[in-house]
Amino acid sequence: MIEPAQRAAALREQLHEHAHRYYVLDDPSVPDADYDRLYRELEALEAEHPELIVPDSPTQRVGAQPNSAFEPVRHRLPMLSLANAFSEQEVRDFDRRARERAGEDALVYVVEPKMDGLAVSLTYERGLLVKAATRGDGRTGEDVTANVRTIRQVPLRLSGDVPELVEIRGEIYLPLAGFHEMNRRLEADGAKTFVNPRNAAAGALRQLDPAVTARRPLEIVCYAVGHLEAGSLPTTHMELLELIAAWGLPVSSLNQRVDSIDDCLRQYAELQAAREELPFEIDGVVYKVDDLAIRETLGQVARAPRWAIAHKFPAEEVSTRLLDVEFQVGRTGALTPVARLDPVFVGGVTVSNATLHNMDEIERKDVRIGDRVVVRRAGDVIPEVVRVLIDERPDDVQRVEQPAACPVCGSDVVRAEGEAIARCSGGLVCSAQREGALRHFVSRRAMDVDGMGDKLIEQLVASGRVQSPADLYTLTQDELASLERMGEKSAANLVAALERSKQTELGRLIYAIGIREVGEVTAQSLANAFGDLPALIDADEEALLAVPDVGPIVARHVRSFFEQEQNLGVLESLRELGVRWPKIEVVESPAEQALSGKTFVLTGSLETMTRDDAKARIQASGGKVTGSVSRKTDYVVAGADPGSKLAKAEALGIEVLDEAGLRALLGDAD
């Protein structure tokens, strides 16, 4: 067993090293979550053994050493930090303590996004910007006035009625687009890239040459007033934010005042859902007591106020050990290297597999078996290995070799010239490809066969009973009932689900048959353009290229799909077995349709039509309907009880329509 004293010393040393790289060099080597974990461990150890606390323990200091390259600035009021909550329980405890102390039954809060950038203090004298400083250790920061002056969003002069002297606090950050652009350029120059937007922002802000800062698209959001002379403040935080905005400083449009801690938690969930679509990074939300007088009563502990707390999102990046790499074969034969990991909690779930994309990526990131790797899981995206912690590479790591033969069927693995992806050449001989094709065929957005799970498909393929999608429609209830894990009831349900799926739509069918590179949206475009299957089968490359969304690669895949007798045979069988779809009326020039080029997302329930009706009508007018809100979305149509999509739309400033609004666009008379 390691002695607590030894462990504490080891933790201090690691934390010192990480903090130096993070704060002074703007170049952290490990994900934040790793640092947090070590920090919390040291905190717990010190709480249990207070005799182990030494004055230079990282827990005894908040923030960073000011960098010597900049003049120190002593803050007139210390820049506090925030206590963190990682669970709903911790949030409720915070609220309970605050209510008890304040002697209130309920508190009004302002919920703000927790911007992932760096804190700055801006001092305005008689409305003029005279000083900008980083937070530093909370008491003394660095003078970055010259650099901050280059940020266009920071007014050099405030507007309106301004106090004699006011210090405003906010967060400087780099929007994601600017971050990616900056890294692209650094990479092109063969220079070292930044691991995240915050470090890139810190690097940009602490440039010795303001001209360099000026070329970085930094932005700012303000959230507090620090020191104030000869001026008065409103009585609530929300009004304070409005005042800051009136002076001309940017304030987050996502801030919301709410009446209870339950509403705080609801807002947390909404922002978490919207997070992936925001144009900047947030790492949680901040709850702040709205009433400024109550804040006074509550005061602060150590270096954090009792009236605010940061509710952090689960970390999206953590490190773990890469145990092995295996190759998975997809429905198109593509070999995907999959990382087998020492299980870790990331993005809110425990992950033991992550994609490594392809061999080129493995080489580019120099990933070897045995390495400590950073795993990222953001939103619903498949977890991926993003990089190696090269400083922690053990001596006995092993290179990843691409298999020469398919791990499933043994056929040769081939990699076409110029392609990053290696494929099994076995085609439908390969059971993995057959299974993949079937899984895709029955999936919800394709033929939507309810209850046809992966395990079942595996059995049907392994026994040889099902070779192609058409064979699914020849399965009998008795046959299904005799399979593993199937009872009479589920067999009957499955047969009914298969029967139901036969009444389909052309777009779904085209998507379901699994032409390479033809996703849902392209399938729908093809359906709209050709109206029926025979016309699509006969379409030449030129006709295909005229379809919106279809480029030369897709056109070639479509052609080669229909040139294979085998595929035509399957389609023929599907028809014979009763699969039906209505023809679509082809509109000659789709470019002239009312909604062409417009992308819609539907959420909530509509009154006068189903979502499917609305989707069909939008598509009939040339519009596209997609499942998730992004910056490319033009309209979100919100019915009753809309979900997080509405929140996302609002966060992104996308136009939201109600049913009447949609009808107006569709040209319905009211």
Which residues of the shown chain bind ligand IVH in the complex (CB under 6 A)?
80-82, 112, 114-115, 119, 135, 171, 223-224, 286, 305, 308, 310
Please identify which residue in the block is written with the tokens 């085209």: 510
Tokens of 592: 């002239």
Nearer to ligand IVH, 30 or 82 (CB): 82
Nearer to ligand IVH, 94 or 327 (CB): 94
Find, among 148, 277, 307, 301, the residue nearest to 222 by Cα: 148
Is residue 114 flagged as an active site residue? yes
Q: What is the largest CA-CA distance in the chain?
A: 86
Nearer to ligand IVH, 263 or 458 (CB): 263
Region at 229 (left for phi over 0; alpha for psi -120 to 50; beta for the rest): beta
Distances in whole angstroms, Cα of residue 326 to Cα of each of 102, 341, 387: 57, 11, 18
How far does CA 126 lie from the centroid of its chain? 42
Annotated catalytic residue within 114, 288, 312, 624: 114
Distances in whole angstroms, Cα of residue 589 to Cα of each of 10, 14, 317, 330, 599: 70, 65, 47, 37, 18
d(CA 472, CA 577): 10
- Nearest residue to ligand IVH, scored by beta-carbon proximity: 119
Nearest-approach distance from CB 464 to ligand IVH, in angstroms: 59
Tokens of 661: 């609004």
Query: What is the residue-wise DSSP string for 407-446?
Result: TTT-PBEEE-TT-S-EEETTGGGSHHHHHHHHHHHHSTTT
Nearer to ligand IVH, 93 or 450 (CB): 93
Nearest-approach distance from CB 77 to ligand IVH, in angstroms: 10
Strand partners, 319: 374
Nearer to ligand IVH, 304 or 386 (CB): 304
d(CA 468, CA 567): 9
Nearer to ligand IVH, 206 or 615 (CB): 206
C-alpha torsion angle, residues 11, 13, 16, 22 (rounded to 10): -80
Nearest-approach distance from CB 169 to ligand IVH, in angstroms: 7
Q: Which distant-in-sequence residues (6+ apart) come within 8 Å of 361 by Cβ?
A: 420
Intra-chain end-to-end CA distance of the chain, in Å: 77
Q: Which distant-in-sequence residues (6+ apart) come within 8 Å of 182 by Cβ?
A: 174, 194, 200, 216
Nearest-approach distance from CB 62 to ligand IVH, in angstroms: 9
Nearest-approach distance from CB 586 to ligand IVH, in angstroms: 53
Nearest-approach distance from CB 57 to ligand IVH, in angstroms: 19
Nearest-approach distance from CB 172 to ligand IVH, in angstroms: 9
Nearer to ligand IVH, 123 or 619 (CB): 123
Query: What residues are annotated to the active site?
Result: 114
